[in-house]
Structure 1
């Protein structure tokens, strides 16, 4: 090969280029961002709207309907998902994967601009964002104080600490939850208002008129220009109290005459604690392209910088730091990579028996890996658990080509003494050059189809696949340039005669001779051997359905959640009481590092949802090396403890927190979604589904997204009577909302900070239906009336949350697998739901992991189909034959059987990561087939060796490199398979499956493949008969 000849002859140039590439790689390595997951930016737009006090039904009618009608017209939309809960509307617009997210965002803004005209005027401005998993909180900290009350603490966090965090490089935003948010409250006295003939709109108007700071104009005073400003903003509570509302007969009626003005706080909707002590939580979100670890470290350093100057008694505690997950996980994978490299070099030394050849390998590996870091930087990749996993996979694979080249050069040195090392290096490389090129192309052909499949599977593994493909390509270039050049240098001063054989080489020669003798007999008994392998394959096929299945394995990251769901209508205080009891059980547990409690809501994505009857405790266990139980074992131990705590009419569930950034996996292992128009029918169907799940004994934490028992007072307006009195339905609705929930009239300024001024009737004055009926309304003609004069107030129930998909109401039944894999639990549930009859127009389907697993199965079929097709094309071009590619690919299923046996033996379920191991096994099988049959065909065509002898000779020639490559790749997978370090959970199934497939692949390569070749060769009968 000319490139090899040039590399060997121009050694300085080759060495300098290699060093330059290494420098580029080192630069790229230190410039790569560090994250837990790869960049998975997919076209998803989120819309959030807060509408204080609105019921789910109101939000569904007034927000969901007009917004979703407009959003449904956006080009490239896949499906819509929305949730309407009390006071909040959330919409997720999922676009097709080939849609540009920036274009989708602009189109969504245009659609929302049309929808906003139809929305109520008292909603908060819509928040429209491009969803990006990388923007999830990287740091969550709590603020506690021994001296300040929760109002002052929350105000300090809002007004000062947030600004400090936003100043940190790489921080995109923050969210503060908990404590008491300051606001100025004006508690009206309805009787006094009636006495002085004052209406709510009149009070609000006067508050707004008296709180004004405005530019007045410019005054020229000689050579100077002076600006005039009207300074009429409120400066104190007394300013607000002194507002004159009306003047009558020389007397002034002030706000103090009809209301109490308080410097208070907003209604308490959520309560937060850290380790049972009241606290305020602040979440820090990073920019999409920022380095997770760098941002987390910068925030940590900023906190250390701030601590000496904090107000007395203030304590800042980190409750969640993504770097605490990322750094140990990546360190664990890096350690696995280092251990794999050491094992690989030991294998190479044992098989080659020469330290010089090991030195060549020592040079080839870092050059290949470091150059790949430079390519990763150019491609915009990050160091994450999957890209590093690709490096671990590649460590064994990357040396395949160099091993083949070195082994061939070594063999030539023994066969042709007297030749110069340089000539031997060039000849040895040239002989195997076409074969390793074909093997490399086949390898890439097997992996590239992964990128053609849309969906989360492709996004998740894209970097891992491209890293492996990139390293394999680089390894080919290194194998035909740097490897022969270094071999020529290291053996330059030595005779081409063979060195003194090591003890291992002497043993291996005997092994090779014995293998040749065994193979010759196996080939004659091929019709007994092939059925034996078929029986092995059949056994694997029978075992395959019994394998569990999942989309992704759970990480042993020590993150546990205790979720509490009380009966609908339960007050926040009752939810908090139950959580206090659970906290008491957790106190003193040495395995718990921290426990953060949220009463009255749930956290999902970037926001905290306020739901009075729900709460959760987020537990962080101590690091894995400091505990003797896994996260899953701890959950099983905690469940009986929590189940003993009485939750009247509700339930307390213990579960492992889901991987952040993978929303497609859902809130539970399995989600059953039921779509239809009538809420009552949906609720009935959902209850039947939940009963089925509970009866199977393979589910835990079963609950429904729909609850139709939320108590509410419904105001039914008599339109005729209202019209006669000159009052509209809108007037009634606005007045009722303003009096009960409060109306923000204006804002109070203190320094550079602003606080809402809310006008309302005190909560303690409205405790029954009669109090609502007695609310005072003002008529257009003048005068006042009670709400009961124009409306009936009745008690009813309504939904807690309304979920819609593609504008159709949807109920979700969720449950976690227990005592079975996700796939096994899903299969049982599918069978159990066969008897459920759906009314016309209703649909039932699966979401969460179940949906992702279904997509994965389709993806697997597509990937394997494309991979086999592309590999067949490459092999057909290489051999100019259709028969030989069929021989090689025909041996692949037998290697896959080894994966099934390994997974069955270890009890590891089939998942998406196993697919990567499958591709490695298939690639290794194809590579060996290419190299073996290349030698066979060369012996037959060039040397006219009969097929039987050619097979035996070629198999003996390929035995050592085949065993060496298999041992090297298996050694590379062993650290991941043992999963002794943090971060290995995600990649362990891949490693275990690959080891099983590669192990059986050795027997397939050295025994079965020659038999299959012999069966497909026309000359076989004649040759064997002659023998």
Structure 2
């Protein structure tokens, strides 16, 4: 072959090429950032609109539905999902993967602006932003102080600490939780207002008119100019008390006469607690595309710089660090690569019985692995679990070509050829077969790399990395391997020197293997004489594999031990923030009996859409080696601990999930909320009876109590009051209204909020006693008791209303305990067969189930394309459409071992094990190619078919066993799943190892038989065709 001949003739050229690859690879490696998964941009927009004081039904009707209808016609929209909660609307628009998110964002913004006039005036401006589905906090920090008050600590965090982290490269957003912001509270005294016959609107307008700093113009005198400004804003909070807000009985009325003015805090609507101790926390989210590990590293360095600048007794601590698990996972995969490479080289040494041959062959590994970093850097990849897992799985593959080439060269040397001739002829003889086997492996990974859907984006880097590394190994095998074989004389082959203990031990092993090869020669002869029996044995094995495969459960991704998890809890519908904190305290007390828990980080009311009833609890476990139970077992203990605690609805989720939903989501869609509630209750009851389905939750199950005030319009008109005035007055007194601002010592604005004292807004009967100011013709301002104009009703409203596809939906969600997702879906479908619903109502499995079914479909397409590509490559190599069929028969045989291994290790059919199946399509053909190719070579030299088949089997058994064992031992560390997150990666390696074991043995038996049968068939066809032509 040209490359091998050139390398033998010009060894410096081959050496320089290898050095260039290694140099570029090392340079590229230093530039590769570390991350957990490939950075995949999924085009999703979030539109959040706040409507203060509005119920979920009002939010849905007035805001959510109108925004949905506006954005739904945008080209490329895949799903429109929304949730309407008290005071907040969130519409999530998911686009097809091909859509450019920036263009879609501009169009969505234009659509919302078009309908802005149709939305209520009281809403805040809709916030439209790209939603990073992986936008979990990269790191969470807690700031605590032994000396500062909560308000002063919040001020410190807002003005100094938060800004320092916001300025760091890669930081996208810093969310504060548990802050106690400074606020000037103006607490109205209704009795004083009544005595002075003043209304709240007068107080507000008077306060706004007095609290001004307004430029009045300029004074010009000759060469000088002065600005004239009125300074109406007080320098101290006490100054608000003397502000004149109106006139009564010919005298001015000050704010201090009708209200108490306090330099206080905003009403707290969120809390953060570390191990139950209050703190001000910061959830730091990275920018889309930024590297998690790099961002966390910058944050930690900034903490070290910031700490000495903080007041005594104040400290910043890391309570959640997403980079820890990433580093541990990447480190584990790197270690599996090294251990796998060592085991692979040892296998080669055992068979070749020569350290020089082992070195020549083993050099392929580091060169191929290091060279793969070149394409990773060029294509903007990262060192993540997917790319490193690709290299880990490819360890056995990378040395395959070198093994086959070197073994053939050694065989020629043992026949008496000189080193140059053996290197040239040995490589040339096996070259096309090695090329075909390598291209077969590449062919199965091209469809994986270009698979459609979200998973296709995630596996793109995996497929490209394997394909490039394998091609580099082929290049090394055709250049460096023959060059070193021709120049580096192996004393073992020339029988020079003494044989040490290791060498003598290997001699014993190789003599045993030679005897085994002779027995295999006899086995081939028997199989050729009993072709029906051999074929029957293989068929029965295949049917057994199909049976085992049918017993396997299926899920999207395997669970893994991350050493951390999240618990989202909802408290009672009418719970206050104090009640939620008490419920949380009970949970933390129960956790003290679970020794595996290292620390906890809890939040109440966090996020843009969080309420005081939403409790998030992050649980960090001790190191894997320091605890007796796995994460799954700890979660089961947590589930039992929470079971008997009243007032909470817990949901246990894996930390770091792409969304905060449970794996099993069953959606019922329709329009009537009452019908949806009824159907959901029946569905939940049926799901409760299915073992393994736990933590059931229904979105419409909890209703929020509320009072509805109904205006008597006739009475209101009689006294000169309209509904808008009632809304403004009650909104200010009950909800509180920030009417103006106060400039603090640093010049920052502090809200001045007007409202009733807490003691006067505890019950609706107190609201009825409030007075409204009205202008009565001929009389002037009068006060009208609110109770004369309104009546109230106590009702309930849904805590949230979910919608998808412009229709309402209720979602029944659940966790799974020792039950695979696919099995759970089948059992739910069976349990709901008799659930009768009205026309227009339907059950849909959403979330992870939808992704799984879509991805499995794309995986099936990739598998079919991989098989087709392999066949076309083999047909091109053998210049025959029939001969490749003997090789292709080895593909289904891999299913036997794969199914058996997954059953043995209690794994499921998931995305990882299916990738292993596709990988097998390229691997198992390698052995069959070596057999068939050498058989054809021998026949072309004049050997009779039967003898050629037997001789080829005897000769190729050694490289076949070497490559198979090299691949098995190369993947063994990955299959053992000993490191962080390795449980997710292990099924892929286990599937490959199981498939390789059975496929290798069955291939050695059945391929010679099928080859002979197909050859007979081809001969019969040629004879029959020849007779017809003669006729």
TM-score normalised by structure 1 residue count? 0.94
Task: Show the counterpart of 1:772.
Answer: 767
The farther-off stretch of 982-991 and 931-940 is 931-940
Alpha-carbon distance between aligned partners in 2 of 1:495 and 1:330, rounded to the nearest angstrom:
41
- Cα deviation for residue 585 of structure 1 reads 2.5
Q: Does 1:489 align with 2:487?
A: yes
Q: 1:224 to 1:356 in 2, by over 3 A?
A: farther
Q: 1:69 to 1:728 in 2, by over 3 A?
A: farther
Count of residue correspondences: 1008
Alpha-carbon distance between aligned partners in 2 of 1:134 and 1:673, rounded to the nearest angstrom:
23
Alpha-carbon distance between aligned partners in 2 of 1:182 and 1:982, rounded to the nearest angstrom:
44
Residue aligned with 2:123, SS: coil
Q: Is the 8 A contact 2:565 2:655 kept in 1?
A: no
Alpha-carbon distance between aligned partners in 2 of 1:86 and 1:1019, rounded to the nearest angstrom:
75
Task: Show the counterpart of 1:126.
Answer: 126
Q: Does 1:186 align with 2:186?
A: yes
Task: Show the counterpart of 1:806.
Answer: 805
Q: Does 1:621 align with 2:621?
A: yes
1:753-902 residue pairs with structure 2 within 5 A?
753-779=748-774, 783-902=782-901
Q: Does 1:710 align with 2:704?
A: yes
Q: Is the 8 A contact 2:653 2:661 kept in 1?
A: no
Task: Show the counterpart of 2:82.
Answer: 82
- Cα deviation for residue 819 of structure 1 reads 3.5
Alpha-carbon distance between aligned partners in 1 of 2:831 and 2:360, rounded to the nearest angstrom:
61
Q: Is the 8 A contact 1:97 1:454 kept in 2?
A: no
1:367-516 residue pairs with structure 2 within 5 A?
367-415=367-415, 417-419=416-418, 421-491=419-489, 502-516=507-521
Q: 1:232 to 1:883 in 2, by over 3 A?
A: farther
Q: Does 1:592 align with 2:597?
A: yes
Q: Does 1:919 align with 2:918?
A: yes
The farther-off stretch of 881-890 and 581-590 is 581-590
Alpha-carbon distance between aligned partners in 2 of 1:510 and 1:814, rounded to the nearest angstrom:
61
- Cα deviation for residue 131 of structure 1 reads 2.2
User: How big is each residue's C-alpha offset from its partner over 1:100-136, in whole Å with a ceiling of 9 and x where there is no partner?
Assistant: 2222222222222223333333333332222224543
Task: Show the counterpart of 2:542.
Answer: 537
User: How big is each residue's C-alpha offset from its partner over 1:930-988, in whole Å with a ceiling of 9 and x where there is no partner?
Assistant: 33222222222x21323222221222222111111111111111111111122312101
Task: Show the counterpart of 1:341.
Answer: 341
Task: Show the counterpart of 2:902.
Answer: 903
Q: 1:364 to 1:752 in 2, by over 3 A?
A: farther
- Cα deviation for residue 566 of structure 1 reads 3.3
- Cα deviation for residue 148 of structure 1 reads 2.3
Task: Show the counterpart of 1:275.
Answer: 275
Task: Show the counterpart of 2:998.
Answer: 1000
Residue aligned with 1:53, SS: coil
Alpha-carbon distance between aligned partners in 1 of 2:465 and 2:360, rounded to the nearest angstrom:
23
Question: Which structure 1 residue ranges, 5 or more long, are not aligned?
Answer: 1023-1027
- Cα deviation for residue 376 of structure 1 reads 0.5
The farther-off stretch of 444-453 and 220-229 is 220-229
1:278-293 residue pairs with structure 2 within 5 A?
278-293=278-293
Residue aligned with 1:137, SS: coil
Q: 1:430 to 1:747 in 2, by over 3 A?
A: farther
Q: Is the 8 A contact 1:213 1:229 kept in 2?
A: yes
Alpha-carbon distance between aligned partners in 2 of 1:783 and 1:86, rounded to the nearest angstrom:
35
- Cα deviation for residue 209 of structure 1 reads 3.1
Task: Show the counterpart of 1:671.
Answer: 665
- Cα deviation for residue 259 of structure 1 reads 1.6
User: How big is each residue's C-alpha offset from its partner over 1:161-201, in whole Å with a ceiling of 9 and x where there is no partner?
Assistant: 10121233322221110142322222222333344343334
Question: Which structure 2 residue ranges, 5 or more long, are not aligned?
Answer: 500-505, 1021-1031
Alpha-carbon distance between aligned partners in 2 of 1:777 and 1:485, rounded to the nearest angstrom:
99
Q: 1:224 to 1:912 in 2, by over 3 A?
A: farther
Alpha-carbon distance between aligned partners in 2 of 1:217 and 1:519, rounded to the nearest angstrom:
106
Alpha-carbon distance between aligned partners in 2 of 1:214 and 1:24, rounded to the nearest angstrom:
65
Residue aligned with 1:907, SS: coil
Q: 1:54 to 1:934 in 2, by over 3 A?
A: same
Q: Is the 8 A contact 1:418 1:497 kept in 2?
A: no
Alpha-carbon distance between aligned partners in 1 of 2:23 and 2:235, rounded to the nearest angstrom:
64
Alpha-carbon distance between aligned partners in 1 of 2:995 and 2:554, rounded to the nearest angstrom:
18
The farther-off stretch of 903-912 and 199-208 is 199-208
Task: Show the counterpart of 2:105.
Answer: 105
Q: Is the 8 A contact 2:198 2:783 kept in 1?
A: no
Task: Show the counterpart of 1:199.
Answer: 199
Task: Show the counterpart of 2:1023.
Answer: none
Alpha-carbon distance between aligned partners in 2 of 1:933 and 1:218, rounded to the nearest angstrom:
99
User: How big is each residue's C-alpha offset from its partner over 1:641-662, in whole Å with a ceiling of 9 and x where there is no partner?
Assistant: 33343x05x5445x342433x2
- Cα deviation for residue 870 of structure 1 reads 2.2
User: How big is each residue's C-alpha offset from its partner over 1:502-547, in whole Å with a ceiling of 9 and x where there is no partner?
Assistant: 3333332222222111111122222112222222222222222321
Residue aligned with 1:122, SS: coil
Task: Show the counterpart of 2:656.
Answer: 659
Residue aligned with 2:413, SS: helix
Residue aligned with 1:926, SS: helix
1:545-560 residue pairs with structure 2 within 5 A?
545-560=550-565
Alpha-carbon distance between aligned partners in 1 of 2:934 and 2:720, rounded to the nearest angstrom:
99
Q: 1:5 to 1:465 in 2, by over 3 A?
A: same
The farther-off stretch of 988-997 and 736-745 is 736-745
Alpha-carbon distance between aligned partners in 1 of 2:808 and 2:787, rounded to the nearest angstrom:
34
Task: Show the counterpart of 2:735.
Answer: 741
2:581 to 576, 579, 588: 576
Alpha-carbon distance between aligned partners in 2 of 1:437 and 1:100, rounded to the nearest angstrom:
40
Alpha-carbon distance between aligned partners in 1 of 2:830 and 2:496, rounded to the nearest angstrom:
68
Q: Does 1:306 align with 2:290?
A: no
Alpha-carbon distance between aligned partners in 2 of 1:943 and 1:250, rounded to the nearest angstrom:
125
Q: 1:252 to 1:734 in 2, by over 3 A?
A: closer
Q: Is the 8 A contact 1:33 1:290 kept in 2?
A: no
Q: 1:1021 to 1:114 in 2, by over 3 A?
A: closer
1:249-268 residue pairs with structure 2 within 5 A?
249-268=249-268
Alpha-carbon distance between aligned partners in 1 of 2:546 and 2:353, rounded to the nearest angstrom:
40
Q: Is the 8 A contact 1:80 1:92 kept in 2?
A: yes
Q: 1:234 to 1:431 in 2, by over 3 A?
A: farther
Q: Is the 8 A contact 1:948 1:1020 kept in 2?
A: no
Q: Is the 8 A contact 1:413 1:498 kept in 2?
A: no
Q: 1:147 to 1:483 in 2, by over 3 A?
A: same
Q: Is the 8 A contact 2:329 2:385 kept in 1?
A: yes
The farther-off stretch of 711-720 and 319-328 is 711-720
- Cα deviation for residue 798 of structure 1 reads 0.4
1:2-401 residue pairs with structure 2 within 5 A?
2-133=2-133, 135-214=135-214, 230-401=230-401
Alpha-carbon distance between aligned partners in 1 of 2:361 and 2:741, rounded to the nearest angstrom:
71
TM-score normalised by structure 2 residue count? 0.93
Task: Show the counterpart of 1:1025.
Answer: none
Q: 1:469 to 1:227 in 2, by over 3 A?
A: farther
Alpha-carbon distance between aligned partners in 2 of 1:862 and 1:423, rounded to the nearest angstrom:
46
The farther-off stretch of 913-922 and 184-193 is 184-193
Q: Is the 8 A contact 2:594 2:637 kept in 1?
A: no
Alpha-carbon distance between aligned partners in 2 of 1:15 and 1:223, rounded to the nearest angstrom:
82
Q: Is the 8 A contact 2:856 2:911 kept in 1?
A: no
When the two chains are superposed, the root-mean-square deviation of aligned CA atoms in Å is 2.5
Alpha-carbon distance between aligned partners in 2 of 1:535 and 1:779, rounded to the nearest angstrom:
93
Alpha-carbon distance between aligned partners in 2 of 1:658 and 1:832, rounded to the nearest angstrom:
31
Q: Does 1:693 align with 2:690?
A: no
- Cα deviation for residue 81 of structure 1 reads 0.8
User: How big is each residue's C-alpha offset from its partner over 1:382-419, in whole Å with a ceiling of 9 and x where there is no partner?
Assistant: 1111111111011111112222221222222223x343
